[in-house]
Structure 1
Amino acid sequence: MAIVQKFIEQRQIFEAAYEDDNWAPLAPYFHEEVVYEVINMPFHCRIEGRTVMIEGLKRSIERFDKLCVRAVGLGAKLYEEGNNVFVHGGIRFQRADAPVLESSLWEIATYRDGLIVRLMDIYDAGDKERFERWMTEWGDGPDPSYI
């Protein structure tokens, strides 16, 4: 199976876990020593290890995403090059009377032996400042941090 197909399958499992809170099926897609990085956001981080990464994803989702109405994959473009899958797309959050918050990012998954060994979410220029303003004005309560 091409790694782009594995990536799409992993994303489908992730979205199912988002809905049903069963994160166990996600683990087999990641190497035990996976490194996950979020770049160009106030909640930037570097997480090492599959278990810690999945716990971090769950934490961020419970404390931010699920407190908003969320749309993902907006205008997404996906391609494979070497042992990497690249996705550029948008994400949108809305909460109560707050204005819509939109961000665009690159998600880059690097594979080794059929497993993701590195995953990076690199937000576009200007998104960090836009997110900080939104959180200052409308973000009372939500916490998007992973760790």
Structure 2
Amino acid sequence: MDLISRFIEQRSAFEQSYKDDDWSRLVPFYDEDAVYEVMAMPFHCVVKGRTSILNGFQKAVTNFDRHCERTIWGNSQVSVEGSNVIVVSGLTMTRGDSPPIHTALTEISSYKDGRIVRMIDLYAPDESDKYEAWMQNWGAGLDPSYV
């Protein structure tokens, strides 16, 4: 299976887990020693190990996403460079009658033997301040962190 097909399969499983909270379906897509990095946001982090990554997904979705409405936008640009799948897209989050918060996002997933060994979510660096302001005004009780 080529990398883009594997990525699409993983993304589909992620979206299903996002809906039903069964994160175990993602186990086959991540190496046991995978590393996940979130960059250029106040909740930046490095998460090590498949179990910690999946627990982090569940934590962030439970404590942030479930209280907001998420829209993925843009014509996602997907490319392959060596063993990496690179996706450029964006997210919009709203909460109740809040104004939307938009951010561009580049995702890089590095594969070995068909599993993700490293994943980076790089948010647009100039949007961190806007995100912090949105959280100050609309984020009471929300926690987007993975750790």
Q: Does TM, scored on the shorter chain, surpass 0.5?
A: yes
**Offset of 1:51 from its aligned partner?**
0.3
> Do structure 1's residue 35 and structure 2's residue 35 form an aligned pair?
yes
> Do structure 1's residue 75 and structure 2's residue 75 form an aligned pair?
yes
> Do structure 1's residue 20 and structure 2's residue 20 form an aligned pair?
yes
Distance in structure 1 (CA, Å) of the matches to 2:91 and 2:75: 9
Q: Is the 8 A contact 2:110 2:116 kept in 1?
A: yes
Cα–Cα, structure 1 residues 73 and 49, in superposed 2: closer, same or farther, change >3 Å? farther
**Offset of 1:73 from its aligned partner?**
4.6
1:120 aligned residue: 120
The amino acid that maps onto 1:27 is V
> Do structure 1's residue 61 and structure 2's residue 61 form an aligned pair?
yes
When the two structures are aligned, how many residues end up with a matched partner?
147
Secondary structure of residue in 2 paired with 1:43 = coil
> Do structure 1's residue 99 and structure 2's residue 76 form an aligned pair?
no
Q: Is the 8 A contact 2:79 2:87 kept in 1?
A: yes
Distance in structure 1 (CA, Å) of the matches to 2:54 and 2:127: 24
Deviation track 1:60-111 (CA, whole Å, cap 9, x = no partner) reads 0000011001112533111111100000001111111210011111100000
RMSD: 0.8
1:137 aligned residue: 137
The amino acid that maps onto 1:94 is T
Tell me, which stretches of 5 or more residues in structure 1 are unaligned? none
Q: Is the 8 A contact 2:94 2:100 kept in 1?
A: yes
Q: Is the 8 A contact 2:39 2:45 kept in 1?
A: yes
Secondary structure of residue in 1 paired with 2:125 = coil
The amino acid that maps onto 1:11 is R
Distance in structure 2 (CA, Å) of the matches to 1:99 and 1:144: 18
Calculate percent identity across the aligned residue pairs. Answer: 42
The amino acid that maps onto 1:45 is C
TM-score (ref. length: structure 2):
0.97
Distance in structure 2 (CA, Å) of the matches to 1:136 and 1:122: 22
